[in-house]
Structure 1
């Protein structure tokens, strides 16, 4: 009878220790989970901010304005277009088709 009681006490102690360990691990995982949720929220906010900034930078009016003011570019007109004529390629000497 004493052995059975001693065995039950050992089982009870092991169970209590495992319960404390599991609760501690659960709390650690909960804290990590909350931290990761917070980090995900921050990254989502940053992503949205970057999307808005990219849209602003890619606006055609802004690009046109920067091209005209900073790069001093002007629109292309037919009068300012230069056409280059490329000469027909000359066959290498000795291969002109004559024997």
Structure 2
């Protein structure tokens, strides 16, 4: 474990040097079109990508109806409102290529 650089200090009112290895503090989730999710681990000033995950399209009619009923119950939408929202938020030409480009280009 590298104990830190003596010339780097925490921003708060402490004299403790910055440690390049610090306790794990959070998970960061990034969402992109077409069901892409990227997860990062954050500790100190370091953020490391854990993985990129891609949702699969559900084609089973029963599974789709179960999911719809679940969300109708949770959010208390009427079936008509649910269908209207699905149409409003549907983006037929959405893709996650731009987000993948950002992931590769920039070191998160």
Same fold (TM over 0.5): no
With the shorter chain as reference, the TM-score category is under 0.3
- The structure with the greater share of residues assigned to helix is 1
TM-score by length of 2: 0.17
Which one has the largest radius of gyration? 1
- The structure with the greater share of residues assigned to strand is 2
TM-score by length of 1: 0.18
Q: Which has the higher contact order (CA 8 A, sep 6+)?
A: 2
